[in-house]
């Protein structure tokens, strides 16, 4: 299972966020993002990542794997937020 994750953070007092996004959809799966942080007024800092979760078992169906995948995804997201 692949999960695209976007986290937004309020900037520190005095920071200004200049942010843009560029997408290249030739093959259907390429998105780029850039962000610069400097002094001044701002709205949000945005971070993106992709999390891959796997479950392996013979004859595994999604309903059986879903709770395990959700638990592992939650642990991955918590690890990202703590760092």
- pLDDT tens sequence across 36-72: 655 544 578 888 888 888 888 889 899 999 998 999 8
pLDDT at 80 (0 to 100): 72
pTM attached to this predicted model: 0.59
Domain positions in the chain? 2-82
d(CA 37, CA 8): 14
Closest CA to 53 of 71, 27, 35, 73: 73
d(CA 37, CA 47): 13
Would you say residue 2 has pLDDT above 60?
A: yes
Q: Is 5 helix (H, G, I), strand (E, B) or coil?
A: strand
């Amino acid at each position: 299972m692949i999960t695209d994750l976007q986290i937004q953070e309020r900037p520190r007092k005095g920071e200004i966020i200049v942010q843009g996004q560029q997408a290249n959809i030739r093959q259907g799966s390429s998105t780029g993002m850039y962000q610069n942080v400097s002094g001044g007024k701002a709205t949000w800092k945005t971070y993106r990542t992709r999390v891959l979760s796997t479950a392996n078992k013979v004859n595994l169906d999604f309903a059986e794997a879903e709770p395990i995948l959700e638990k592992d995804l939650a642990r991955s997201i918590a690890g990202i937020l703590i760092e």
